[in-house]
Every structure is written in C-alpha cells, then in structure tokens.
Amino acid sequence: MPVLIDTSREIPAQRRDLAKGVPLDIDNVRDTVVMTKFVSNSNLIADWQPARDWFEQVIVDTGRKGGNARITVKGDDGQERGVNIDDGLIIDLKGTMTGLFGILPDQPPMTEEQIGDFEEATGKRVPVYQRWDFKITRILKTNGPAERISLARSEDQKRQAAQTEMFDAFTKMFQMGAGQLAAQGNLSPTAQEVLDAATKSQVAMQAKAK
C-alpha cells in the first residue's frame, strides 16, 4: 500500500521557516515500508555493504518507474500521485536488514529454507542477497517550488532586460546613422543605407576608444 503524505500536518514550531524546512507529523506513516533494496552478500560482487542501519534521503517517490507509487500526495485535482521534486519535500529513510534471500532471474526472492531446497533439488547455487526495508523517519516541507518559481522569474527578468538593452542600443545606432545621412543631405535613406552608416559610425567610435 502506498503512503499518503499530508503536507498540512506540520509540527508546531516557534518560527516557521520553509527555507530551512518545516517538519511534518509522520506518526501515521512511519511504520510502512516504502522502499526495498537488495545487496549481494558476496564481497566479490558488492563493493559496499551497509553496517547496521542504512540511511537514504529522497525528494521523489521511491516506487519503480512505471509501477505503483509508494510515497504519494494529493495533487491539485484531489487525486493521489507520487511525490515529485516540485512538492518541496525532503524525506529521510532508514533501512533495516530483514533477512537473506536468494535471487534468480524471473523468480521471486527465496527464503533461506527455499534456497536450500532449490540447491538440493537442482544442484545449482543460488546467489544470496541481503534484503533492506526502508521506512520514513522524517519529512521536511520546504519552499522548494517557490524558490524555483522565483529563480525562473528572475532569469526571465534578466533575459527581458538584456533584450531591452540590446533593442535600445540598436535604436540609438540607427538614429545615429540616420542623423549622419540627414546631415549629408540624404533625407530619405533606405534601411540598408542607415545600417551601413550606423555600422561605420560604430566602427569609428570603437577605433577612437582604443
């Protein structure tokens, strides 16, 4: 069963600071396994094996891609969906080893007893893996989405300012070219003539600046 996170269940605090994260009340979900990992019991295969507890931190649903969601929230439409990065949740998980299991392609994990029976019946060795089950230990609600929206707006404002500055520069350059042509008696220049005159003026100004 998926775990439904109620983002409104904030733990009361003297100062609510979304930038640092506001802890949520998770008493109703902390006993549910939301993720399982298998690690080879052989040092020749696994270059790292957890010692005692295994801690993970996620910001998205831990369900398999294309499979059922494991950590969910209610979307704007009221329907449950997997947690995603825009929800601004930081989820701490603690993994505990729950036993040794045999794993073969296209077969469910085998218990130690089933491993023995299979090896005795087939004469084939079954690779043994540690099974680690993860449960939620803490959830922080942050202003991640707001930060991203603010950043996007800031970048858009910078882009618009740059475009305006570039437009103003071109306008001044064309006005300069048109003014020079008018001084020379050309009162009805073509766009190309204005561009050529503006370019020459720009080149002359840059040469003087050097």
Task: Give tens-digit pLDDT for 67-97.
Answer: 789 999 998 888 899 999 889 899 999 999 9
Q: Could you tell me the residue ranges of all domains in the chain?
A: 3-142, 165-209
For the segment 94-112, the average pLDDT, to the nearest whole number, is: 91
Q: What is the pLDDT of residue 139?
A: 93
- Nearest partner of 134 among 31, 23, 5, 6, judged by Cα: 31
Q: What is the pLDDT of residue 53?
A: 87
For the segment 147-159, the average pLDDT, to the nearest whole number, is: 58
For the segment 178-200, the average pLDDT, to the nearest whole number, is: 68
Mean pLDDT of the chain: 81
Instruction: Please name the residues in contact with 6: beta carbons below 8 A apart, sequence gap of 6 or more.
Output: 24, 28
Query: Tokens at residue 210, please?
Result: 């050097």
Q: What is the pLDDT of residue 1?
A: 74
DSSP letter (8 states) at residue 10: B
d(CA 138, CA 32): 13
The CB density around residue 21, as the number of other CB atoms within 10 Å, is 17
Q: What is the pLDDT of residue 6?
A: 93
Q: Which pLDDT band holds residue 143 (cuts at 50, 70, 90)?
A: confident
d(CA 189, CA 179): 10
Q: What is the pLDDT of residue 72?
A: 94
For the segment 140-147, the average pLDDT, to the nearest whole number, is: 76
Residue type, 137: T
Q: What is the pLDDT of residue 198?
A: 63
Tokens 């090896």 map to which residue?
Answer: 119
b/e code 53-74 from CB counts within 10 Å (16+ = b): ebeeebbebbbeeeeebbbbbe
Q: What is the pLDDT of residue 210?
A: 56
* Residue 43: strand, helix, or coil: coil
Is residue 18 within 8 A of residue 143, CB to CB? The reply is yes
Is residue 100 within 8 A of residue 127, CB to CB? The reply is no
Task: Give tens-digit pLDDT for 159-185.
Answer: 666 666 666 666 666 666 666 766 776
Q: How far, CA to CA in Å, does 162 sit from each of 148, 159, 165?
A: 21, 5, 5
Task: Give tens-digit pLDDT for 14-41.
Answer: 788 887 888 999 999 999 999 999 988 8
Q: What is the pLDDT of residue 93?
A: 95
- Nearest partner of 125 among 41, 48, 36, judged by Cα: 41
d(CA 124, CA 101): 15
Task: Give tens-digit pLDDT for 114-142.
Answer: 999 999 999 989 999 999 999 999 999 98
